[in-house]
Amino acid sequence: MDIDGEKVVYQDTQKILVNYRVDDQRMHDKLIGDWEGAECSGGTSYSYVTRYTDDGHWRSEGTMVSGKVSMEYENEGTWTLSGGVLERKVTRSNLPHLQGGVLTSKILFMTTDTMAVRDSDGQAVYSFKVAHNMVSSDRDEVLALNQLGSWRGVETFDAVQYRYVTTFSRDGRWLTRGVQAADGVTKEYQEEGGWEVKGGKLRYRIDLPTTPKTRDLTLSHEIFYTTVGTGMYGTPGANRIYLYQVSDHEVPIM
């Protein structure tokens, strides 16, 4: 694969760093165009499209959501790239805290259609090159194909930690098996239901729940990105959930 930059892979609590070549001219050429991205920070989620032009200008349009409040925003300015570091000066913005500022991002890796940078929280933020001939339904189909298979995850909700493996099948069904832990007590659980990808979101319905109160509950997670082996999703509470694809020979989590 034609990769530039520095790739960081997170596996459980260990960080594996793989260095790729840093070629600013190659990165410059790949960067030109429109990039679609989404991220969460400080309880606020952002989704946006950023355009980089060859004359060193950039413009970003997007939506930010915090709780039940959402607003459209626009940023623009000039950009430079040196030593694998992307620097964007903000010359105009309807967000007062960004006006006149400088946004600096370390490029972790870049291909012709995927880019990851390190944000101010040290997290990897992914963007994808926009194919202008791809309609929304085409993108949903690609995301759904990426979702197939078994995925391992860990998350905490209402002081309960969940460790699980979820399998998404081609027939539109999903099955989760895992363990939940609270106050030093652990127990196994299993849930299943139907799923689909629509409008860039993973939507799933719980048919057979662990507790009766969640029966027929429908949940929706924003798909920030899915690649071969890794996915990141946003919950309604603007939290990040990372999932890692499970190989067929791995031992189940229970």
pLDDT in tens, 234-249: 765 556 677 887 764 3
Pick the more confident residue, 82 or 240: 82
Pick the more confident residue, 245 or 178: 178
Closest residue by Cα to residue 222 from 61, 46, 43: 46
Confidence of residue 58 (pLDDT cuts 50, 70, 90): very high
**Residue 253 maps to a domain:** no
Based on the fold, state whether residues 127 and 9 are members of the same structural domain: yes
Say which range, 152-156, 181-185, 209-213, 221-225, has the weakest mean pLDDT. 209-213
Using an 8 Å Cβ cutoff, are 163 and 155 in contact? no
Q: What is the CATH number of the domain that holds 92?
A: 2.40.128.280
pLDDT at 48: 87
Confidence of residue 15 (pLDDT cuts 50, 70, 90): very low
Q: For 163-186, what is the mean pLDDT?
A: 92
What are the pLDDT digits (tens) for 26-39?
A: 889 889 988 888 77
Q: Dihedral angle at the C-alpha atoms of 75, 70, 224, 205, nearest 10 degrees?
A: -170
pLDDT at 90: 96
Say which residue the tokens 């004359």 belong to.
Answer: 55
Tokens of 120: 């101010």
Q: Which of 80, 113, 133 finishes a domain?
A: 133
For residue 100, pLDDT over 50 is answered with yes
For residue 14, pLDDT over 50 is answered with no
**Residue 179 maps to a domain:** yes
Based on the fold, state whether residues 46 and 87 are members of the same structural domain: yes
Provide the domain count of the chain.
Answer: 2
pTM listed for this prediction: 0.54
Based on the fold, state whether residues 220 and 180 are members of the same structural domain: yes
Based on the fold, state whether residues 156 and 99 are members of the same structural domain: no
Using an 8 Å Cβ cutoff, are 52 and 31 in contact? yes
Using an 8 Å Cβ cutoff, are 52 and 35 in contact? yes
Residue 212 DSSP class: G
Q: Which of 133, 165, 181 finishes a domain?
A: 133
Based on the fold, state whether residues 59 and 73 are members of the same structural domain: yes
Amino acid at 106: K
What are the pLDDT digits (tens) for 124-167?
A: 788 888 765 555 566 788 788 888 889 888 888 778 888 999 99
Based on the fold, state whether residues 96 and 152 are members of the same structural domain: no
Amino acid at 108: L
pLDDT at 251: 37
Residue 213 DSSP class: G
pLDDT at 236: 58
The number of angstroms, rounded, from the C-alpha of 24 to the middle of its chain's C-alpha atoms is 25
Based on the fold, state whether residues 110 and 143 are members of the same structural domain: no
Based on the fold, state whether residues 204 and 119 are members of the same structural domain: no
Residue 32 DSSP class: S
Range of the domain at 142: 137-245
Based on the fold, state whether residues 142 and 232 are members of the same structural domain: yes
For residue 13, pLDDT over 70 is answered with no
**Residue 254 maps to a domain:** no
Q: How far apart are CA 69 and CA 76, in angstroms?
A: 23
Q: How far apart are CA 252 and CA 107, in angstroms?
A: 35
Q: How far apart are CA 24 and CA 5, in angstroms?
A: 9
For residue 41, pLDDT over 50 is answered with yes
Confidence of residue 213 (pLDDT cuts 50, 70, 90): low
pLDDT at 137: 60
Based on the fold, state whether residues 239 and 176 are members of the same structural domain: yes
Q: Which residues contact 176 (CB under 8 A, 6 or more apart)?
A: 164, 165, 166, 167, 189, 190, 191, 192
**Residue 251 maps to a domain:** no
For residue 9, pLDDT over 60 is answered with no
**Residue 170 maps to a domain:** yes
**Residue 57 maps to a domain:** yes
Query: What are the start-end ranges of the H helices in the chain?
Result: 24-31, 136-147
Compute the half-sphere exposure of residue 198: CA atoms within 13 Å on the CB side of its CA: 7
Give the rounded percent of residues in the chain with a pLDDT score beyond 90: 29
**Can you give the C-alpha Rg of the chain in angstroms?**
20
Pick the more confident residue, 24 or 132: 24
**Residue 92 maps to a domain:** yes
Based on the fold, state whether residues 123 and 155 are members of the same structural domain: no
Based on the fold, state whether residues 161 and 51 are members of the same structural domain: no
**Residue 252 maps to a domain:** no
